[in-house]
Amino acid sequence: RELEADLRTALAEGGFELHYQPLVDLRSDEVTGCEALLRWRHPVRGMISPAEFVPVAEETGLIEDIGQWVLRTACIEAAAWPAHVRVAVNVSPVQFKSETLSLKVASALAESGLDARRLELEITEAVLIADDDAALVTLGQLRALGVHIALDDFGTGYSSLQYLQRFPFDKIKIDRSFVKEVTRNSGSASIIRAVVSIAADRNMITTAEGVETDQQRDTVQMLGCTQMQGYLFSRPVPAPDLRTLLAADSVED
Ligand code: G
Ligand code: G
Ligand code: NA
Ligand code: MN
């Protein structure tokens, strides 16, 4: 496949970059984390979304090397941020299945000098459905390193509230489809309230994804979400812009 060859070239020749989107604590209004989002500058086609190339990378196995590049780069860049700011990295179900994932994470941490508690891995429900027991082992190894685990896009796919009881997460990210409807659909608000209640019981953070308006922000805050992410505060930005944003954010304090 042509795209596969181009992905290999990009990996070898610096064609990828990470953009970062702030995560804002709804109690303190502070940026307490940033999610790394992979970007590919294709020489001919311009910026290509991960939604387009991650599936190809997964099918071809290239996701292992690309994922390792993302982990390393995110840890190295985050090591230069204020110490209270975490970095969140998306982990594909294919990467999660690798028995050496925790070794790879440990190596990225060692190389960057980043404190493990400042790294958060975002996984989706797909990894839990595939193999319960293996997933529990991997999650245990990762948490033993000290990294945080977030359940991404919660509420899409084959969600089950049972997952929240059975697996050790530090955070639940409530999918933006619920946030989008929250001000006009009482069903979405009820679902968010239920998730927040379970999360609070177990000391988990709840992040509202895709917050685009003040009204959505106020509503998810009222429902008890502890963190938000979305265009209202900032779009994903390149690393230098993020450092400027973080510097301005800490000056305000
Ligand atoms: O940033 P954007 O909206 O284009 O992201 C589209 C999708 O790609 C999202 O589902 C996001 O989680 C995923 N994605 C972004 N960066 C990464 C990455 O580094 N690794 C993996 N596996 N997925 C990513
Ligand atoms: O699957 P995941 O949640 O990792 O996807 C993250 C993607 O969601 C990011 O790539 C980003 O482009 C997108 N995103 C972030 N904030 C918003 C938002 O406020 N509105 C919309 N529509 N998309 C967002
Ligand atoms: Na994510
Ligand atoms: Mn998400």
The closest alpha carbon to 92, from 121, 116, 119, 112, belongs to 121
Ligand 2 pocket by C-beta < 6 Å: which residues? 21, 37, 90, 152-153, 176, 209-212, 229-231, 236
Give the burial class of 15: count Cβ atoms within 10 A of its Cβ; 0-12 exposed, 13-18 middle, 19 or more buried.
middle
Specify the pTM.
0.96
Mutate to test the pocket of ligand 2, among 178, 231, 233, 237 (most ligand atoms within 8 A of CB): 231
Enumerate residues with CB within 5 Å of ligand 3 (an ion). Answer: 90, 122, 152
Closest atom of ligand 1 to 19 CA is: 1
What angle (nearest 5°) sits at the alpha carbon of residue 120, between those of residues 242 and 9?
Answer: 65
> Which pLDDT score is estimated for 37?
98
The answer to whether 150 and 170 are in contact (CB under 8 A) is yes
CATH architecture of 2-243: Alpha-Beta Barrel (3.20)
* Interface confidence (ipTM) of the complex: 0.97
Tens of pLDDT along the chain (253 residues)? 788 999 999 999 999 999 999 999 999 999 999 999 999 999 889 999 999 999 999 999 999 999 999 999 999 999 999 999 999 999 999 999 998 999 999 999 999 999 999 999 999 988 887 677 888 999 999 999 999 999 999 988 776 788 888 888 999 999 999 999 999 999 999 999 999 999 999 999 999 999 999 999 999 999 999 999 999 999 999 999 999 999 988 766 5
Query: Measured in angstroms, how far is the CA atom of residue 80 from the centroid of ligand 3?
Result: 22
Give the burial class of 237: count Cβ atoms within 10 A of its Cβ; 0-12 exposed, 13-18 middle, 19 or more buried.
middle
Q: What is the C-alpha separation between 161 and 174, in angstroms, rounded?
A: 12
How many residues are recorded in the chain?
Answer: 253
The closest alpha carbon to 11, from 45, 44, 46, 38, belongs to 38
